[in-house]
Structure 1
Amino acid sequence: MTTQPPAPHNPAPHHPAPPLGRTLCAMITPFTPSGALDLDGAQRLAHHLVAHGCDGLVLSGTTGESPTTSDTEKSDLVRAVREAVGDRAKVITGVGTPDTRHTAELAREAEKAGADGLLVVAPYYSTPPQEAIEAHFRQTADACGLPLMLYDIPARTGTRIEPETLLRLAEHPGIIAVKDCSQDFLGAQKVLSRTDLAYYAGCDEHNLALYAVGGTGYVSTVANVVPDRLRAVLDAFDAGDTARAARLQQQATPLIEAVMSAGLPGTVTAKSLLNALGLPAGPVRSPLQPAGRGRADELLTLHAALVGT
């Protein structure tokens, strides 16, 4: 009996070139012990993250404590990080506010400061209807020459960017990407299948799953502390070793859960770990409070277990 040769190994589907990077870190904003903006620390952390696998840095997002940094601090942060990373990574900055005029002003300032793109969250608190949300994004995109990554995180804004709204917004040439924290995997696939929008997982537990169905990459809080381990997941998938990609994602799950889903904001847990690892972070700004000693020790133990595998 003739033995059939093994089926040829087929690599994973090719992903289009990412417009704003593939492995993006939602970078924390380092502060000095007194709570001032630490631009030197931001440059050192940015250099570290890029050297360890991040090809994009997202500043002044949720993890970057944007609600408690001033407009001037946001612009200064862009300039400092741009100087630190040069052209080795994309620099995207959050400009989202509940005020369309203010958001447009921040967009123009970010362009002057040297950003490559903008992260724009749905306007929060006022809970505008979908038509108003769409107009908000279009006006922001028209206000400057930078591309927009829309940030869909209804758990924080109180308002979803509905898939039908995303389908319409995809027609705007300045709106090119989505950071997806909607927890609606079907909705994300619907938009992916019908547009050219670059989709980035905004929840670390979805990094591999969204990538596997055509996503572009991730914007990760956990990448602050294990940038190389998260990049390895996507690298394995791209190499066609999907079993290894799944195994690496599973190995990271305990740390992902501890950082993102254990009762404290990701900013607090990420800064706790970075401080313990001797990397620039500093305190959080009120109303956030630092992690307690027990949680800090747990995070450090889980980090050591992951990097030791």
Structure 2
Amino acid sequence: MKTPTATRTAPVPAPAPFGHALCAMITPFTAGGEALDLDGAQRLAARLVTEGCDGLVLNGTTGESPTTTDAEKSELIRAVREAVGDGVPIVTGVGTADTRHTVELTRAAHKAGADAVLVVPPYYSRPPQEAIEEHFRTVADASGVPVMLYDVPARTGVRVEPDTLLRLADHPSIVAVKDCSNDFLAAQKLLSRTELAYYAGSDEHNLALYAVGAAGYVSTVANVIPTRLRTVLDEFDKGNTTQAARLQQQATPLIESLMHTPLPGTVTTKSLLTALGHPAGPPRPPLRPATPETTAALLATHERLTAC
């Protein structure tokens, strides 16, 4: 009797309220950086969606939210919504160090056309966990807009502790987490104990978190290689786990060059996009453009990847 051949079935994708592949989009500026390049933002957004992004995250860290005005944030949302239509989820950063201001930005974002908001814990003041929880609940109660919490202690100076996330998971408007904690154990525990949709916020974790049940990623590197990063998830969903791992490994040198240098990812990403002929413009001060030498090195790394 012939032994049946084992078959590999594709894993069931995790719930993903905003899609699986999200780009943390840069904010294009005019050549001098004084104004938004809204036409460039629309062209960039349309390209990202065409090349594999399910949704877009605007006005975040990569989008230089600390140096754009409240009015500019709303203008960007309206412009991108016009470019991509109603079927593409738009999540927008509204995080500030002031709960009242964050509530104002949340309401303005909803009015401008955002589908959800991305909220960091208040930074600089470093409130205790009880205050962080109250901040998030206040924002989530403000408009009923779905909320993605953003755990990024390297930038905010404070962690959203796992126990805090467990308590927040019961709020009907808090539906997702962008995870930049680099705490892989905590992420797995929360995935197993809540219905929160987890999104990798560090590109080197895209596949690893997806493999244990995350919804997908919110990626800065997707500004440059949206199709390649999306293909990693697609191959995994097909059950082609070896191919998914190979594609993730191939992207690693570019991920490292863009995200793990002394320069912020906004600076390196804008530099490479400009060199590739895409809308970007300079970063706003205090950030400064990358040097020609850095840009040349980024281009060389990108060329090696595209040759794979």
TM range (shorter): over 0.9
- C-alpha deviations, 1:176-220, integer Å up to 9, x for none? 000000010001111111000000000000000000000000000
Report SS of the residue matched to 2:143: coil
Q: Read off the aligned partner of 1:69 and give its amino acid letter.
A: T
CA distance in 2 between counterparts of 1:4 and 1:255 reads 45
Q: Is the 8 A contact 2:169 2:196 kept in 1?
A: yes
| 8 Å CA contact retained: 2:179, 2:198 | yes
Aligned residues of 1:92 and 1:118 also touching (Cα < 8 A):
yes
1:157 CA drift (Å): 0.2
Match of 1:280 in 2: 279
1:29 counterpart residue number: 27
How far residue 3 of structure 1 moved from its aligned partner, in angstroms, is 6.0
Q: Secondary structure of 1:143's match?
A: helix
Letter in 2 for 1:26: A
Kept in 2, the 8 Å contact 1:50–1:88? The answer is no
Q: In the TM superposition, what is the alpha-carbon distance from 1:5 to its structure 2 partner?
A: 4.4
Tell me, in whole angstroms, the C-alpha distance in 2 between the residues paired with 1:163 and 1:85.
35
Counterpart position of 1:213: 212
Please tell me whether the aligned partners of residues 44 and 279 of structure 2 are also in contact (alpha carbons under 8 angstroms). yes
Matched residue, 1:113: 112
User: What's the offset of the Cα at 1:34?
Assistant: 1.9
- Please say if residues 170 and 195 of structure 1, whose CA atoms lie closer than 8 Å, have aligned partners that are also in contact: yes
Instruction: Give the Cα–Cα distance (whole angstroms) in 2 for the partners of residues 168 and 17 of structure 1.
Output: 20
Q: Normalization by structure 2: what TM-score?
A: 0.98
Partner in structure 2 of residue 238 of structure 1: 237
Q: Which position in structure 1 is the counterpart of 2:265? A: 266
Instruction: Write out per-residue CA displacement over residues 112-133 of structure 1, whole angstroms, 9 at most, x where no aligned residue.
Output: 0000000001110000000000
Write out aligned runs for 1:108-147 (5 A): 108-147=107-146
Quote the offset at 1:263 in angstroms.
1.6
- Corresponding residue for 1:103? 102
Q: Which residue of 2 aligns with 1:16?
A: 14
Q: Distance in 1 between matches of 2:257 and 2:203?
A: 11
Equivalent position of 2:54 in the other structure: 55
Cα distance in 1 for residues equivalent to 2:44 and 2:156: 28
Q: CA deviation at 1:66?
A: 0.3
Structure 1 residue 9 displacement after superposition: 2.3
Does 2:169 correspond to 1:174? no
Offset of residue 6 of structure 1: 3.0
CA-CA distance at 1:305 after TM superposition = 1.3
**Structure 1 residue identity aligned to 2:46:** H
Q: Retained in 2: the 8 A contact 1:111–1:145? A: no
Residue aligning to 1:92 = 91
Contact 1:119 1:148 in 2 (8 A): yes
Q: Which amino acid aligns with 1:78?
A: I
Q: Give the Cα separation in 1 of the matches to 2:92 and 2:265.
A: 18
Q: Distance in 1 between matches of 2:86 and 2:237?
A: 24
Shift of residue 304, structure 1, vs aligned partner: 1.3
Query: Residue 16 of structure 1: CA displacement?
Result: 3.5
Asked if structure 2 preserves the Cα contact closer than 8 Å seen for 1:92 and 1:117, the reply is yes
Between the aligned partners of 1:147 and 1:205, the Cα distance in structure 2 is 26
Task: Mark the runs of 5 or more structure 1 residues left unpaired by the alignment.
Answer: none
Q: Is the 8 A contact 1:55 1:88 kept in 2?
A: no
Structure 2: 5+ residue stretches without partners: none
1:187 partner SS: helix
- Return structure 1 stretches of 4+ with deviation > 4 angstroms: none
Calculate the TM-score normalised by the size of structure 1. Answer: 0.98
The separation in 2 between residues aligned to 1:50 and 1:307, in whole angstroms, is: 20
Partner residue, 2:223: 224
For the residues of structure 2 that align with 1:105 and 1:82, how far apart are their CA atoms? Answer: 20
CA contact (8 A) 1:26 1:220 kept: yes
Deviations 1:62-99 (A, max 9, x none): 00000000000000000000110003421010000000
In 2, distance between residues paired with 1:197 and 1:17? Answer: 9
Root-mean-square deviation (CA), in Å? 0.9
Determine the structure 2 residue equivalent to 1:299: 298
